[in-house]
A and B are shown apart, each in its own frame.
Chain A
Amino acid sequence: MSISFMSVSFASNNPIDNPLRIAVSSNFTPVLKKLLLEFHQQTNINTQIISGATGALFLQIKHGAPFDIFIAADSVRPKLLEQQKLILINSRKTYAIGQLALLSMHNKAQLSDLALTLQKIPKYFAIANPEIAPYGKAAKQTLQHLGLWQQYQKRLITGININQTFAQVRSQAVSSGLVANSQLIMNKLDGVVIPSSYHQPIKQQLVIIKNRANIDHAKRLSQFLLSPKIQQKIVSYGYANNVLTELPIQPLIRPLIQQGKTNAKP
Protein backbone atom coordinates (compact mmCIF):
# COMPACT_ATOMS: atom_id res chain seq x y z
CA MET A 1 0.00 0.00 0.00
CA SER A 2 2.64 2.48 0.94
CA ILE A 3 4.62 1.90 -2.23
CA SER A 4 1.94 3.25 -4.57
CA PHE A 5 1.12 6.14 -2.25
CA MET A 6 4.77 7.07 -2.24
CA SER A 7 5.47 7.24 -5.92
CA VAL A 8 2.33 9.30 -6.56
CA SER A 9 2.94 11.93 -3.94
CA PHE A 10 6.60 12.01 -4.76
CA ALA A 11 6.19 13.21 -8.32
CA SER A 12 3.86 16.01 -7.28
CA ASN A 13 6.14 17.16 -4.50
CA ASN A 14 9.11 18.10 -6.61
CA PRO A 15 9.34 21.81 -5.90
CA ILE A 16 11.47 23.21 -8.70
CA ASP A 17 12.06 21.83 -12.16
CA ASN A 18 15.72 21.38 -12.95
CA PRO A 19 17.28 23.95 -10.62
CA LEU A 20 21.01 24.66 -10.72
CA ARG A 21 22.50 22.30 -8.12
CA ILE A 22 25.35 23.93 -6.24
CA ALA A 23 27.60 21.78 -4.08
CA VAL A 24 29.27 24.21 -1.70
CA SER A 25 31.76 23.88 1.12
CA SER A 26 29.87 24.56 4.34
CA ASN A 27 32.11 27.47 5.37
CA PHE A 28 31.07 29.45 2.27
CA THR A 29 27.37 28.50 2.46
CA PRO A 30 26.16 31.51 4.51
CA VAL A 31 27.92 33.94 2.14
CA LEU A 32 26.64 32.12 -0.94
CA LYS A 33 23.08 32.22 0.36
CA LYS A 34 23.28 36.02 0.56
CA LEU A 35 24.82 36.32 -2.92
CA LEU A 36 22.28 33.98 -4.51
CA LEU A 37 19.43 36.35 -3.72
CA GLU A 38 21.04 38.86 -6.06
CA PHE A 39 21.90 36.16 -8.62
CA HIS A 40 18.27 35.07 -8.76
CA GLN A 41 17.09 38.67 -9.20
CA GLN A 42 19.52 39.21 -12.06
CA THR A 43 19.08 35.94 -13.93
CA ASN A 44 15.85 34.36 -12.66
CA ILE A 45 17.77 31.08 -12.36
CA ASN A 46 16.55 28.76 -9.61
CA THR A 47 19.22 27.18 -7.45
CA GLN A 48 19.54 24.39 -4.93
CA ILE A 49 22.28 24.45 -2.31
CA ILE A 50 23.91 21.21 -1.19
CA SER A 51 26.19 22.15 1.65
CA GLY A 52 28.86 19.80 2.97
CA ALA A 53 32.51 19.19 3.72
CA THR A 54 34.72 19.75 0.66
CA GLY A 55 36.21 16.26 0.99
CA ALA A 56 32.82 14.52 1.17
CA LEU A 57 31.41 16.51 -1.76
CA PHE A 58 34.52 15.70 -3.79
CA LEU A 59 34.05 11.98 -3.11
CA GLN A 60 30.40 12.19 -4.13
CA ILE A 61 31.16 14.03 -7.38
CA LYS A 62 33.74 11.38 -8.19
CA HIS A 63 31.00 8.77 -7.84
CA GLY A 64 28.49 10.54 -10.04
CA ALA A 65 26.64 12.95 -7.73
CA PRO A 66 24.17 15.10 -9.73
CA PHE A 67 25.79 18.47 -8.93
CA ASP A 68 26.28 21.18 -11.59
CA ILE A 69 28.92 23.33 -9.93
CA PHE A 70 31.27 22.67 -7.03
CA ILE A 71 32.33 25.59 -4.82
CA ALA A 72 35.15 24.13 -2.74
CA ALA A 73 37.02 25.46 0.28
CA ASP A 74 40.41 24.65 -1.20
CA SER A 75 42.18 24.23 -4.53
CA VAL A 76 43.33 20.64 -3.97
CA ARG A 77 40.02 18.91 -4.63
CA PRO A 78 39.12 21.07 -7.68
CA LYS A 79 42.56 20.27 -9.13
CA LEU A 80 42.00 16.54 -8.57
CA LEU A 81 38.65 16.70 -10.34
CA GLU A 82 40.35 18.54 -13.19
CA GLN A 83 43.06 15.85 -13.43
CA GLN A 84 40.37 13.18 -13.50
CA LYS A 85 38.70 15.05 -16.39
CA LEU A 86 35.41 15.39 -14.55
CA ILE A 87 35.08 19.14 -15.06
CA LEU A 88 34.46 21.50 -17.92
CA ILE A 89 37.82 22.54 -19.42
CA ASN A 90 39.15 25.82 -17.99
CA SER A 91 36.30 26.13 -15.49
CA ARG A 92 38.56 25.97 -12.40
CA LYS A 93 38.64 29.48 -10.93
CA THR A 94 39.66 31.05 -7.62
CA TYR A 95 36.57 32.81 -6.28
CA ALA A 96 37.84 33.74 -2.79
CA ILE A 97 40.97 33.85 -0.66
CA GLY A 98 40.31 32.75 2.88
CA GLN A 99 41.52 34.70 5.89
CA LEU A 100 42.30 33.26 9.30
CA ALA A 101 41.37 34.99 12.52
CA LEU A 102 42.04 34.41 16.19
CA LEU A 103 38.84 34.06 18.18
CA SER A 104 38.76 33.99 21.94
CA MET A 105 35.52 34.09 23.87
CA HIS A 106 37.12 34.78 27.26
CA ASN A 107 39.79 37.47 27.25
CA LYS A 108 38.87 39.93 24.57
CA ALA A 109 41.16 42.59 26.04
CA GLN A 110 44.32 40.76 25.12
CA LEU A 111 43.35 40.34 21.51
CA SER A 112 44.84 43.68 20.54
CA ASP A 113 48.24 42.05 20.51
CA LEU A 114 48.32 38.83 18.53
CA ALA A 115 51.81 37.58 19.29
CA LEU A 116 51.60 38.34 23.01
CA THR A 117 48.24 36.65 23.24
CA LEU A 118 49.45 33.56 21.43
CA GLN A 119 52.56 33.31 23.61
CA LYS A 120 50.38 32.69 26.64
CA ILE A 121 49.77 29.11 25.67
CA PRO A 122 46.24 28.08 26.65
CA LYS A 123 45.24 24.68 27.99
CA TYR A 124 43.46 23.86 24.74
CA PHE A 125 43.53 25.59 21.39
CA ALA A 126 41.17 24.89 18.51
CA ILE A 127 42.24 24.66 14.87
CA ALA A 128 40.85 22.69 11.94
CA ASN A 129 42.66 19.46 11.07
CA PRO A 130 45.82 20.55 9.17
CA GLU A 131 45.87 17.30 7.22
CA ILE A 132 42.44 17.65 5.63
CA ALA A 133 41.12 21.20 6.11
CA PRO A 134 42.62 24.18 4.25
CA TYR A 135 42.07 26.54 7.18
CA GLY A 136 43.74 23.98 9.43
CA LYS A 137 46.78 23.85 7.17
CA ALA A 138 47.02 27.65 7.29
CA ALA A 139 46.60 27.59 11.08
CA LYS A 140 49.53 25.18 11.39
CA GLN A 141 51.64 27.37 9.11
CA THR A 142 50.76 30.41 11.21
CA LEU A 143 51.84 28.72 14.44
CA GLN A 144 55.04 27.55 12.72
CA HIS A 145 55.67 31.06 11.43
CA LEU A 146 55.40 32.38 14.98
CA GLY A 147 57.68 29.61 16.25
CA LEU A 148 54.95 28.28 18.49
CA TRP A 149 54.04 25.01 16.77
CA GLN A 150 56.06 22.78 19.15
CA GLN A 151 54.47 24.30 22.24
CA TYR A 152 50.97 24.18 20.79
CA GLN A 153 51.05 20.71 19.31
CA LYS A 154 49.84 18.87 22.42
CA ARG A 155 47.18 21.47 23.20
CA LEU A 156 45.38 21.31 19.89
CA ILE A 157 41.76 20.33 19.54
CA THR A 158 41.33 19.70 15.82
CA GLY A 159 37.97 19.95 14.09
CA ILE A 160 37.20 18.03 10.91
CA ASN A 161 36.49 21.36 9.23
CA ILE A 162 36.60 25.03 10.13
CA ASN A 163 32.89 25.06 11.01
CA GLN A 164 33.45 22.51 13.75
CA THR A 165 36.40 24.50 15.05
CA PHE A 166 34.31 27.67 15.08
CA ALA A 167 31.48 25.90 16.93
CA GLN A 168 33.97 24.63 19.54
CA VAL A 169 35.26 28.12 20.31
CA ARG A 170 31.94 29.91 20.04
CA SER A 171 30.29 27.48 22.44
CA GLN A 172 33.25 28.13 24.79
CA ALA A 173 34.09 24.44 24.88
CA VAL A 174 37.57 25.61 23.88
CA SER A 175 38.61 29.05 25.05
CA SER A 176 40.32 30.16 21.85
CA GLY A 177 41.27 29.06 18.37
CA LEU A 178 42.03 29.98 14.79
CA VAL A 179 38.86 30.23 12.70
CA ALA A 180 37.85 31.78 9.38
CA ASN A 181 37.52 35.57 9.41
CA SER A 182 34.29 35.24 7.40
CA GLN A 183 32.77 33.32 10.30
CA LEU A 184 33.48 36.25 12.61
CA ILE A 185 31.96 38.75 10.19
CA MET A 186 28.89 36.67 9.40
CA ASN A 187 28.28 36.18 13.13
CA LYS A 188 29.24 39.73 14.17
CA LEU A 189 32.07 38.64 16.46
CA ASP A 190 35.37 40.37 17.19
CA GLY A 191 38.72 38.74 16.67
CA VAL A 192 42.17 39.42 15.26
CA VAL A 193 42.76 38.86 11.57
CA ILE A 194 45.95 36.87 10.99
CA PRO A 195 48.17 38.63 8.44
CA SER A 196 48.08 36.73 5.16
CA SER A 197 51.88 36.69 5.03
CA TYR A 198 51.94 34.20 7.93
CA HIS A 199 50.68 31.35 5.77
CA GLN A 200 50.23 30.28 2.16
CA PRO A 201 47.07 31.74 0.60
CA ILE A 202 43.90 29.77 1.25
CA LYS A 203 42.74 29.64 -2.35
CA GLN A 204 39.11 28.64 -2.58
CA GLN A 205 38.22 27.43 -6.05
CA LEU A 206 35.12 26.49 -7.99
CA VAL A 207 34.70 24.08 -10.90
CA ILE A 208 31.84 23.32 -13.30
CA ILE A 209 31.03 19.63 -13.53
CA LYS A 210 30.95 18.36 -17.11
CA ASN A 211 28.20 16.39 -18.86
CA ARG A 212 25.39 18.06 -16.94
CA ALA A 213 22.26 19.65 -18.41
CA ASN A 214 22.73 22.93 -16.54
CA ILE A 215 26.18 23.92 -17.78
CA ASP A 216 25.02 27.31 -19.11
CA HIS A 217 23.51 28.28 -15.78
CA ALA A 218 26.61 27.06 -13.99
CA LYS A 219 28.75 29.26 -16.24
CA ARG A 220 26.58 32.25 -15.42
CA LEU A 221 26.95 31.62 -11.70
CA SER A 222 30.73 31.35 -12.11
CA GLN A 223 30.85 34.64 -14.05
CA PHE A 224 28.60 36.25 -11.46
CA LEU A 225 30.82 35.18 -8.54
CA LEU A 226 33.96 36.40 -10.34
CA SER A 227 32.50 39.77 -11.36
CA PRO A 228 34.23 42.76 -9.71
CA LYS A 229 31.11 43.82 -7.85
CA ILE A 230 30.52 40.42 -6.25
CA GLN A 231 34.25 39.97 -5.59
CA GLN A 232 34.10 43.17 -3.56
CA LYS A 233 31.14 41.81 -1.63
CA ILE A 234 32.97 38.56 -0.93
CA VAL A 235 35.89 40.58 0.46
CA SER A 236 33.48 42.53 2.67
CA TYR A 237 32.33 39.19 4.15
CA GLY A 238 35.84 38.49 5.46
CA TYR A 239 37.93 37.23 2.57
CA ALA A 240 41.21 38.65 1.29
CA ASN A 241 41.34 40.55 -1.97
CA ASN A 242 41.40 38.04 -4.80
CA VAL A 243 43.09 40.24 -7.44
CA LEU A 244 45.91 41.50 -5.26
CA THR A 245 47.06 38.15 -3.94
CA GLU A 246 50.52 38.56 -5.41
CA LEU A 247 51.14 41.79 -3.49
CA PRO A 248 51.85 41.90 0.23
CA ILE A 249 48.67 42.61 2.12
CA GLN A 250 48.44 45.74 4.27
CA PRO A 251 48.36 44.63 7.89
CA LEU A 252 45.30 45.81 9.79
CA ILE A 253 47.32 46.77 12.85
CA ARG A 254 50.88 47.64 12.01
CA PRO A 255 52.63 47.05 15.38
CA LEU A 256 51.00 43.69 15.60
CA ILE A 257 52.62 42.31 12.49
CA GLN A 258 56.06 43.62 13.51
CA GLN A 259 55.71 41.93 16.85
CA GLY A 260 54.86 38.70 15.08
CA LYS A 261 57.89 38.93 12.80
CA THR A 262 60.40 39.50 15.61
CA ASN A 263 58.97 36.52 17.41
CA ALA A 264 59.32 34.34 14.40
CA LYS A 265 63.10 34.75 14.19
CA PRO A 266 64.27 32.53 17.06
Chain B
Amino acid sequence: MPSPDLLALVVTLKMAALTTVILLLISTPLAWFLAKMTSRFKVIIEAIVALPLVLPPTVLGFYLLIAFSPQHLPGQMWQQATGQQLAFSFSAIVIGSVLYSLPFVVQPLQKAFEQLGGSLLEAGAMLGAGPIDRFFTIVLPLTKASFITAASLGFAHTVGEFGVILMIGGNIPGETRVLSIALFDHVEAFDYAKAHVLAISLLIGSMILLASVYLLNLPRRITTNLG
Protein backbone atom coordinates (compact mmCIF):
# COMPACT_ATOMS: atom_id res chain seq x y z
CA MET B 1 0.00 0.00 0.00
CA PRO B 2 1.55 3.33 -1.05
CA SER B 3 1.95 6.13 1.48
CA PRO B 4 -1.06 8.48 1.68
CA ASP B 5 0.94 11.40 0.31
CA LEU B 6 2.18 9.34 -2.64
CA LEU B 7 -1.39 8.33 -3.35
CA ALA B 8 -2.38 12.01 -3.28
CA LEU B 9 0.43 12.75 -5.76
CA VAL B 10 -0.83 10.03 -8.13
CA VAL B 11 -4.40 11.35 -7.93
CA THR B 12 -3.16 14.90 -8.52
CA LEU B 13 -1.12 13.98 -11.61
CA LYS B 14 -3.97 11.92 -13.07
CA MET B 15 -6.43 14.73 -12.46
CA ALA B 16 -4.14 17.41 -13.92
CA ALA B 17 -3.20 15.33 -16.98
CA LEU B 18 -6.79 14.40 -17.80
CA THR B 19 -7.94 17.99 -17.20
CA THR B 20 -5.23 19.33 -19.53
CA VAL B 21 -6.20 16.94 -22.34
CA ILE B 22 -9.90 17.83 -22.04
CA LEU B 23 -9.07 21.54 -21.80
CA LEU B 24 -7.01 21.46 -25.01
CA LEU B 25 -9.84 19.70 -26.83
CA ILE B 26 -12.42 22.26 -25.65
CA SER B 27 -10.28 25.39 -25.70
CA THR B 28 -8.80 25.10 -29.18
CA PRO B 29 -12.12 25.49 -31.06
CA LEU B 30 -13.39 27.97 -28.45
CA ALA B 31 -10.28 30.15 -28.70
CA TRP B 32 -10.38 29.99 -32.51
CA PHE B 33 -14.03 31.01 -32.49
CA LEU B 34 -13.30 33.92 -30.13
CA ALA B 35 -10.28 35.06 -32.15
CA LYS B 36 -12.31 35.22 -35.36
CA MET B 37 -15.49 36.57 -33.77
CA THR B 38 -16.40 40.16 -34.59
CA SER B 39 -19.85 40.35 -32.99
CA ARG B 40 -20.43 42.42 -29.85
CA PHE B 41 -21.35 39.26 -27.97
CA LYS B 42 -17.68 38.34 -28.02
CA VAL B 43 -17.05 40.34 -24.84
CA ILE B 44 -19.76 38.42 -23.02
CA ILE B 45 -18.26 35.04 -23.89
CA GLU B 46 -14.80 36.36 -22.99
CA ALA B 47 -16.12 37.53 -19.64
CA ILE B 48 -17.68 34.13 -18.92
CA VAL B 49 -14.42 32.36 -19.79
CA ALA B 50 -12.49 34.72 -17.49
CA LEU B 51 -14.93 34.39 -14.55
CA PRO B 52 -12.98 31.65 -12.73
CA LEU B 53 -10.09 34.13 -12.43
CA VAL B 54 -12.12 36.41 -10.19
CA LEU B 55 -14.69 34.13 -8.52
CA PRO B 56 -13.55 32.83 -5.12
CA PRO B 57 -12.88 29.09 -5.61
CA THR B 58 -15.05 28.13 -2.65
CA VAL B 59 -17.99 29.98 -4.20
CA LEU B 60 -17.54 28.12 -7.49
CA GLY B 61 -17.09 24.91 -5.47
CA PHE B 62 -20.26 25.51 -3.48
CA TYR B 63 -22.41 25.93 -6.59
CA LEU B 64 -20.79 22.96 -8.29
CA LEU B 65 -21.48 20.88 -5.16
CA ILE B 66 -25.15 21.77 -5.37
CA ALA B 67 -25.23 21.07 -9.12
CA PHE B 68 -23.41 17.74 -8.82
CA SER B 69 -25.41 16.43 -5.86
CA PRO B 70 -27.93 13.60 -6.46
CA GLN B 71 -30.76 15.97 -5.47
CA HIS B 72 -30.30 18.24 -8.49
CA LEU B 73 -30.69 17.86 -12.25
CA PRO B 74 -27.06 17.82 -13.50
CA GLY B 75 -26.11 15.30 -10.83
CA GLN B 76 -29.19 13.18 -11.57
CA MET B 77 -28.48 13.21 -15.32
CA TRP B 78 -24.92 12.08 -14.72
CA GLN B 79 -26.12 9.31 -12.42
CA GLN B 80 -28.58 8.07 -15.05
CA ALA B 81 -25.97 8.12 -17.78
CA THR B 82 -23.11 6.48 -15.88
CA GLY B 83 -24.79 4.71 -12.97
CA GLN B 84 -22.51 6.49 -10.54
CA GLN B 85 -22.88 9.50 -8.28
CA LEU B 86 -21.08 12.57 -9.59
CA ALA B 87 -20.44 14.56 -6.40
CA PHE B 88 -17.36 13.34 -4.46
CA SER B 89 -16.04 11.31 -7.38
CA PHE B 90 -12.86 11.59 -9.43
CA SER B 91 -14.97 12.70 -12.41
CA ALA B 92 -16.36 15.57 -10.33
CA ILE B 93 -12.94 17.02 -9.55
CA VAL B 94 -11.90 16.70 -13.20
CA ILE B 95 -15.02 18.59 -14.35
CA GLY B 96 -14.48 21.20 -11.64
CA SER B 97 -10.84 21.61 -12.70
CA VAL B 98 -11.78 22.01 -16.37
CA LEU B 99 -14.09 24.90 -15.47
CA TYR B 100 -11.62 26.40 -13.03
CA SER B 101 -8.59 26.28 -15.35
CA LEU B 102 -10.43 27.21 -18.55
CA PRO B 103 -9.15 30.82 -18.84
CA PHE B 104 -5.55 29.70 -18.40
CA VAL B 105 -5.80 27.63 -21.58
CA VAL B 106 -8.25 29.67 -23.68
CA GLN B 107 -6.55 33.04 -23.25
CA PRO B 108 -3.03 32.18 -24.53
CA LEU B 109 -4.51 30.28 -27.47
CA GLN B 110 -6.88 33.10 -28.35
CA LYS B 111 -3.97 35.60 -28.34
CA ALA B 112 -1.93 33.34 -30.60
CA PHE B 113 -4.79 32.85 -33.06
CA GLU B 114 -5.47 36.60 -33.13
CA GLN B 115 -1.87 37.36 -34.01
CA LEU B 116 -1.88 34.80 -36.77
CA GLY B 117 -2.09 36.68 -40.09
CA GLY B 118 -4.83 35.66 -42.50
CA SER B 119 -2.52 35.64 -45.54
CA LEU B 120 -0.82 32.32 -44.82
CA LEU B 121 -4.17 30.61 -44.37
CA GLU B 122 -5.45 32.14 -47.59
CA ALA B 123 -2.36 30.91 -49.40
CA GLY B 124 -2.95 27.44 -47.97
CA ALA B 125 -6.55 27.53 -49.10
CA MET B 126 -5.56 28.62 -52.60
CA LEU B 127 -3.17 25.68 -52.79
CA GLY B 128 -6.13 23.43 -52.05
CA ALA B 129 -5.70 22.64 -48.33
CA GLY B 130 -8.97 22.03 -46.44
CA PRO B 131 -9.67 23.68 -43.07
CA ILE B 132 -8.44 20.71 -41.03
CA ASP B 133 -5.37 20.32 -43.18
CA ARG B 134 -4.66 24.07 -42.79
CA PHE B 135 -4.99 23.82 -39.04
CA PHE B 136 -2.48 21.00 -38.70
CA THR B 137 0.04 22.18 -41.32
CA ILE B 138 -0.10 25.97 -40.85
CA VAL B 139 -1.79 27.02 -37.57
CA LEU B 140 -0.41 24.36 -35.25
CA PRO B 141 3.30 24.74 -36.21
CA LEU B 142 3.06 28.53 -35.95
CA THR B 143 1.33 28.54 -32.56
CA LYS B 144 3.16 25.56 -31.02
CA ALA B 145 4.72 27.68 -28.28
CA SER B 146 1.32 29.04 -27.24
CA PHE B 147 -0.08 25.53 -27.07
CA ILE B 148 2.78 24.52 -24.79
CA THR B 149 2.20 27.61 -22.63
CA ALA B 150 -1.55 26.97 -22.47
CA ALA B 151 -1.15 23.29 -21.61
CA SER B 152 1.48 23.96 -18.94
CA LEU B 153 -0.49 26.77 -17.31
CA GLY B 154 -3.63 24.63 -17.33
CA PHE B 155 -1.75 21.70 -15.83
CA ALA B 156 0.08 23.79 -13.19
CA HIS B 157 -3.03 25.69 -12.19
CA THR B 158 -4.95 22.44 -11.78
CA VAL B 159 -2.21 20.97 -9.58
CA GLY B 160 -2.43 24.04 -7.35
CA GLU B 161 -6.22 23.99 -7.13
CA PHE B 162 -7.71 23.81 -3.65
CA GLY B 163 -11.05 25.42 -2.84
CA VAL B 164 -13.14 23.87 -5.59
CA ILE B 165 -11.81 20.36 -4.97
CA LEU B 166 -12.19 20.66 -1.20
CA MET B 167 -15.88 21.37 -1.73
CA ILE B 168 -16.84 18.89 -4.46
CA GLY B 169 -14.25 16.19 -3.79
CA GLY B 170 -14.85 15.41 -0.15
CA ASN B 171 -11.17 14.62 0.55
CA ILE B 172 -11.42 10.87 -0.13
CA PRO B 173 -8.05 9.07 -0.19
CA GLY B 174 -7.17 7.53 -3.57
CA GLU B 175 -10.11 9.22 -5.25
CA THR B 176 -10.36 12.94 -4.56
CA ARG B 177 -7.61 13.71 -2.04
CA VAL B 178 -5.10 15.72 -4.04
CA LEU B 179 -1.74 17.15 -2.92
CA SER B 180 -3.02 20.61 -1.99
CA ILE B 181 -5.66 19.05 0.28
CA ALA B 182 -3.21 16.56 1.81
CA LEU B 183 -0.95 19.54 2.53
CA PHE B 184 -3.84 21.43 4.17
CA ASP B 185 -4.64 18.34 6.28
CA HIS B 186 -1.06 18.21 7.56
CA VAL B 187 -1.14 21.90 8.44
CA GLU B 188 -4.51 21.46 10.20
CA ALA B 189 -3.09 18.54 12.16
CA PHE B 190 0.02 20.62 13.05
CA ASP B 191 2.13 17.99 11.32
CA TYR B 192 4.47 20.65 9.95
CA ALA B 193 7.25 18.21 8.99
CA LYS B 194 5.04 16.38 6.49
CA ALA B 195 3.51 19.68 5.37
CA HIS B 196 6.97 21.13 4.64
CA VAL B 197 7.88 18.09 2.51
CA LEU B 198 4.74 18.46 0.38
CA ALA B 199 5.05 22.24 0.16
CA ILE B 200 8.66 22.16 -0.97
CA SER B 201 7.92 19.43 -3.55
CA LEU B 202 5.00 21.41 -4.95
CA LEU B 203 7.15 24.54 -5.02
CA ILE B 204 10.08 22.89 -6.80
CA GLY B 205 7.83 21.00 -9.22
CA SER B 206 5.88 24.14 -10.20
CA MET B 207 9.10 26.16 -10.47
CA ILE B 208 10.64 23.63 -12.86
CA LEU B 209 7.46 23.44 -14.95
CA LEU B 210 7.07 27.21 -15.26
CA ALA B 211 10.78 27.81 -15.91
CA SER B 212 10.67 25.20 -18.69
CA VAL B 213 7.71 26.94 -20.29
CA TYR B 214 9.48 30.29 -20.26
CA LEU B 215 12.66 28.65 -21.53
CA LEU B 216 10.77 27.14 -24.47
CA ASN B 217 9.29 30.53 -25.28
CA LEU B 218 12.57 32.40 -24.83
CA PRO B 219 13.95 32.21 -28.41
CA ARG B 220 10.67 33.40 -29.84
CA ARG B 221 10.37 36.24 -27.36
CA ILE B 222 13.87 37.46 -28.13
CA THR B 223 13.35 37.36 -31.88
CA THR B 224 10.04 39.15 -31.67
CA ASN B 225 11.62 41.84 -29.52
CA LEU B 226 14.45 42.28 -32.00
CA GLY B 227 12.37 41.96 -35.10
Contact = CB atoms under 8 A, between A and B. Distances in A.
26 contacts: A3-B21, A6-B17, A6-B18, A9-B14, A15-B1, A15-B173, A16-B1, A26-B188, A29-B188, A30-B190, A50-B170, A51-B188, A52-B166, A59-B62, A59-B167, A60-B65, A60-B88, A60-B170, A63-B68, A63-B70, A64-B70, A64-B87, A65-B87, A66-B88, A167-B190, A186-B190
Q: Which 4 A-B pairs have the closest CB atoms?
A: A63-B69, A26-B188, A15-B1, A65-B170
A64 B189 contact: no
Interface residues of A, number: 31
A13 B4 CA distance: 11
Interface of B: 1-2, 7, 10, 14, 17-18, 21, 62, 65-66, 68-71, 75, 85, 87-88, 90, 166-167, 170-174, 185, 187-190
A10 B90 contact: yes
B173 A48 contact: yes
A204 to B, nearest CB: 17
Contacts of B21: 2-3
Contacts of A9: 10, 14
A10 B87 contact: no
Contacts of A63: 65-66, 68-71, 87
Nearest to A183: B190
A151 B62 CA distance: 36
Contacts of A30: 189-190
A59 B170 contact: no
Most buried by A among B7, B87, B167, B173: B173
A15 B175 CA distance: 10
Contacts of B62: 59
A56 B88 contact: no
B14 A10 contact: yes
A21 B188 CA distance: 19
A14 interface: yes
A10 B13 CA distance: 12
Nearest to A3: B18
Contact of A64 (B88, B171, B188): B88
A227 B35 CA distance: 67
A35 to B, nearest CB: 15
Contacts of B170: 50, 60, 65-67
A65 B188 contact: no
A251 B170 CA distance: 41
